């Protein structure tokens, strides 16, 4: 299962090489050409048939949230800072892998026995945490890691089974999107498909911005593993998306107001083919579509996503049913992309 390999690969924003190589190996033979740009985006072109062909960009980001080592303390423990948006409450008592050598370490936590009652109610901030790799001195630690090394959570992909075909693993945001995009490449389309695996989404949609400039697409889709908040809550607030509810179509989020013609095409296609789908609650999160739709003079863009619980934490959970629905919805929708009137 490709999602397992994608999830277990390490690619914190700015250091996506391993994920890029994995994807390159997976798509070779299915694309006509590919290149890696200055920031590290992997842009693969699958040529379509016909005379006046549109350029359709479909993007998924390779990077994941993670940590960066910023200091090695005298007694050998490592200080770190988050890369991308991480709730510091999820960091305690986790195992991490540091640097390209994947040196194991643990984020320790002061034992509960030594906490005063009020401390038990206090959130520990990342500045107070450290990673223990077993080193006893700065020199000792420096033999294994260096300042600037990236770290990721050490989490294995697991299949939980059941009707939802749930799976858990790290970085489903956005390796789920990468998995969908890779599957889309097995089809043939009546336009030039620019399958774009972007970098640095988690630190500000950086890769998509320059990729969209160079591709100059007529239409763009961003594929995501998106926010899902469907656990029981005190207040009756929206779950954003629901696991098992099908492909999530974005109408608007913090980064983009999706092109209505593309939203309508997605919905029409889903209804015609009976593909499970849902709408992501407006104004939550942001995606590569936010950068792409502002490229050059503007690009009609929309985001389609696989709902994923616990994104930006060590362990995410998604339903393979939703992932399959997203692939199906995108496949069918792309077939209709040529028919949309792009002039206003």
Partner 1 sequence: MQTKDFLKQITEASGVSGYEDSVRELVRTEFALYADEIRTDTLGSLIALKRGERSAETPRRSIMLAGHMDEIGLVITQAEKGYLRFSTVGGFDLRVLLGQEVVVHGHRDLPGVIGTRPPHVLSSEEQEQVVPLDRLFIDVGLTEAELAESVRVGDIVTLRRDFTELAGGLVAGKAFDDRAAVACIAQCLQHLSTLKHTWDVYAVATVQEETGLKGALTSAFGIEPDIGIAIDVGHGNMLGVSEVDTVNVGGGPALGFGPNIHPVLYEQLVGVAKKYEICHQIDPIPGASGTDAWAMQVTREGMPTALISIPLRYMHTTVETLSLKDVERIGRLLALFIAGLSEESASELGLAR
- The interface with partner 1 within residues 276-305 (CB under 8 A) comprises 284-285
Q: Identify whether 341 is a catalytic site residue.
A: no
Nearest-approach distance from CB 229 to partner 1, in angstroms = 5
Q: How many residues bind partner 1 (CB under 8 A)?
A: 73
Q: Which residue out of 5, 51, 64, 201 is catalytically annotated?
A: 201
d(CA 120, CA 116): 7
For residue 45, give the H/E element and its range.
Answer: strand 42-46
Judged by CB, which is closer to partner 1: 269, or 287?
Answer: 287
Contact residue for partner 1 among 92, 126, 251, 340 (CB under 8 A): 92
For 323-339, b/e burial (b = at least 16 CB within 10 A) is bbbbbbbbbbbbeebbe
Stretch that binds partner 1, among 166-174, 203-211, 256-264, 298-306 (CB under 8 A): 166-174
d(CA 110, CA 108): 7
Comparing C-alpha atoms, which of 139, 273, 256 is closest to residue 208? 256
Judged by CB, which is closer to partner 1: 49, or 101?
Answer: 101
Say how many residues make up the chain. 344
- The interface with partner 1 within residues 6-25 (CB under 8 A) comprises none
d(CA 198, CA 208): 6
Give me the sign of the Cα torsion angle 267, 30, 42, 170.
positive
- The interface with partner 1 within residues 303-332 (CB under 8 A) comprises 309-315, 317, 319
85 binds partner 1 (CB under 8 A): yes
Nearest-approach distance from CB 223 to partner 1, in angstroms = 18
Nearest-approach distance from CB 344 to partner 1, in angstroms = 32
Where in the sequence numbering do the catalytic residues fall?
201
């Amino acid at each position: 299962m490709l999602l397992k390999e994608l999830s277990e690969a390490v690619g914190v924003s700015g250091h996506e090489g391993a994920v890029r190589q994995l994807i390159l190996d997976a798509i070779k033979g299915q694309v006509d050409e590919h290149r890696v740009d200055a920031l590290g985006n992997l842009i693969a072109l699958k040529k379509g048939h016909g005379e006046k062909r549109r350029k359709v960009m479909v993007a998924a980001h390779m990077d994941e949230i993670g940590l960066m080592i910023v200091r090695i303390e005298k007694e050998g423990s490592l200080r770190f800072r988050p890369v991308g948006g991480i709730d510091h409450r999820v960091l305690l008592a986790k195992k991490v892998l540091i640097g390209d050598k994947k040196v194991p370490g643990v984020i320790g936590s002061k034992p509960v026995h030594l906490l005063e009652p009020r401390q038990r109610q206090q959130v520990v901030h990342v500045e107070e945490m450290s990673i223990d790799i077993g080193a006893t001195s700065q020199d000792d630690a420096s033999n294994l890691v260096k300042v600037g090394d990236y770290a990721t959570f050490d989490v294995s992909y697991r299949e939980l089974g059941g009707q939802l075909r749930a799976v858990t693993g790290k970085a489903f945001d956005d390796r789920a999107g990468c998995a969908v995009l890779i599957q889309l490449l097995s089809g043939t389309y009546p336009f030039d498909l620019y399958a774009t695996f972007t970098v640095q989404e988690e630190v500000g949609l950086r890769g998509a911005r320059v990729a969209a400039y160079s591709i100059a697409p007529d239409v763009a889709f961003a594929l995501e593993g998106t926010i899902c908040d469907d656990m029981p809550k005190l207040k009756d607030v929206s779950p954003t998306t629901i696991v098992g509810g099908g492909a999530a179509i974005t109408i608007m989020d913090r980064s983009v107001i999706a092109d209505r013609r593309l939203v309508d095409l997605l919905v029409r296609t889903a209804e015609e083919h009976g593909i499970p789908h849902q709408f992501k609650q407006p104004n939550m999160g942001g995606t590569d579509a936010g950068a792409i739709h502002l490229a050059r003079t503007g690009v009609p863009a929309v985001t389609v996503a696989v709902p994923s619980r616990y994104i930006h934490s060590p362990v995410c959970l998604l339903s393979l049913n939703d992932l399959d629905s997203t692939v199906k919805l995108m496949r069918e929708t792309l077939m209709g992309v040529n028919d949309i009137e792009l002039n206003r």
